[in-house]
């Protein structure tokens, strides 16, 4: 699977699992995304896809690294729909 395709799938999953924040942007907590069965089946390396999407300015989150448990409450914000 290529990176662009994985990022587009990630956007779909954030839209499915997330909700609008105060700024009107869709956001989801990392723990919700990480623990979702459908996401687990789609993404072989979810954190890698998140980092690639952040680098391309598709999403944003306030952490350099995302680890299950430690960063479950980190909001992942969709910058582009």
Q: From 21, 6, 26, 20, select the one nearest 81 (Cα to Cα).
A: 26
* Band of residue 65 on the pLDDT scale cut at 50, 70, 90: confident
* Band of residue 7 on the pLDDT scale cut at 50, 70, 90: very high
pLDDT beyond 80 at 25: yes
Tell me if 49 sits within 8 A of 55, measured CB to CB. no
Q: Compute the mean pLDDT over every residue in the chain, rounded to the nearest whole number.
A: 93
User: What is the number of structural domains in the chain?
Assistant: 1
Q: What CATH code is carried by the domain that includes residue 38?
A: 1.10.10.1540
Q: Are strands 19-20 and 26-29 parallel, antiparallel or unpaired?
A: antiparallel
**What's the confidence (pLDDT) of residue 1?**
61
**What's the confidence (pLDDT) of residue 58?**
97
Domain with 25 in it: 3-78
């Amino acid at each position: 699977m290529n990176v662009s395709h994985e990022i587009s799938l990630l956007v779909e999953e954030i839209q499915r699992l997330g909700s609008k924040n105060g700024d009107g942007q869709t956001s989801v907590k990392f723990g919700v995304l990480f623990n979702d069965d459908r996401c687990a089946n789609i993404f072989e390396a979810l954190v890698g896809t998140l980092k690639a999407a952040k680098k391309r300015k598709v999403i944003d989150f306030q952490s350099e690294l995302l680890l299950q448990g430690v960063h479950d409450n980190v909001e992942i914000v969709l910058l582009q729909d």
